[in-house]
Amino acid sequence: MKNMRYLAAAGLVLCSLAASGQTAEAAPFELLYTGGFDTDEALNPASAASPTPFSSSTSFAVRALFDTSSPNLAPALGGPFAGFRAYSPLSAEITIAGTTYSIQTAAENALTGVAVAIFDANSFMPGRYAVGLIADPMGDGAGFVGDFRSASPPFSASSLVPTAFQDFVGVGHSAGPCSSGAPPACPKIVTPWVLRDAGNILYNLTFADYSADYLTLTPEGTRLGPLNTAQLLAVPEPSSLGLVLLGLLGLGWARTRPLTQV
């Protein structure tokens, strides 16, 4: 009986240590983002001669795993961009019209692969938060960044925490880096994202250049498009998961042992 109590107590301690360690560090994260494409954007097999636009507004959902211990790919401009971080995801996928595709990451291709872009309240739009996926952060490449008035809880780019982005304001889509001038108002070099389906077939996802203010209503009183949502979730590290599982196994073993055993 005494051994059982020790084992149960050890299980609780291991679970507690794993949970507290994850809260303190919280380096691995998962970005969940939902948004929509318009009819000037396109998804086509890479072999297609030219893009064929979506026939109607089309929703999408993104999942991207990243780790803040990886190099920050954001331009080191200082000043208003001190609150900007861009991390190459460990993996990224996008679901469009019921089909899920893997997205080429910045680690696979520095110019066409995506990075998780995060802006805190001290970045380019003071007081607001933003998040999305963009290629070539140094060149402000193809992708999207959603703009939000708040985050719960608030965070700084140098110390991320699990958070829900709230009060969506608008979203910017970009077809690629500037061919001249400076973003966002510049002619673009159209650079599609590279996607891959479950059958290993390559696709090009081509973005348009626009920004949408979802707090501004059309003359008919409707919003301009689908509301974007975003959240960052903490992902347990393998070592933490191991501690949790070990603790739970210990507790389960203790519960199943006959009370007459010592």
Q: Does 19 share its domain with 39?
A: no
Q: Does 103 share its domain with 3?
A: no
Per-residue pLDDT reduced to its tens digit, 55-99: 999 999 999 999 998 889 987 654 446 799 999 999 999 999 999
The maximal CA–CA distance of the chain, rounded, in angstroms, is: 80
Backbone phi, psi, residue 95, to 5°: -105, 120
Q: What pTM value is reported for the model?
A: 0.78
pLDDT at position 17 is 36
How far CA 93 is from CA of 8, 61, 96, in Å, comes to: 40, 8, 10
Q: Does 5 share its domain with 92?
A: no
- Kindly tell me if the per-residue pLDDT of 23 is higher than 70: no
Per-residue pLDDT reduced to its tens digit, 89-144: 999 999 999 999 999 999 999 999 999 999 999 887 889 999 999 999 988 899 99
Q: Does 79 share its domain with 98?
A: yes
Q: Does 151 share its domain with 38?
A: yes
CA angle, corner 46, sides to 57 and 61, nearest 5? 40
Q: Does 14 share its domain with 63?
A: no
Q: Does 203 share its domain with 248?
A: no
pLDDT at position 215 is 61
Q: Which comes out higher in pLDDT, residue 15 or 255?
A: 255
How many domains is the chain built from? 2
Q: Does 80 share its domain with 91?
A: yes
How far CA 87 is from CA of 105, 173, 214, 223, 262, in Å, comes to: 10, 19, 27, 32, 52
Q: Does 247 share its domain with 229?
A: no
Look up residue 139 and give its amino acid. Answer: G
Domain that holds residue 20: 1-25+237-262
Q: Does 63 share its domain with 112?
A: yes
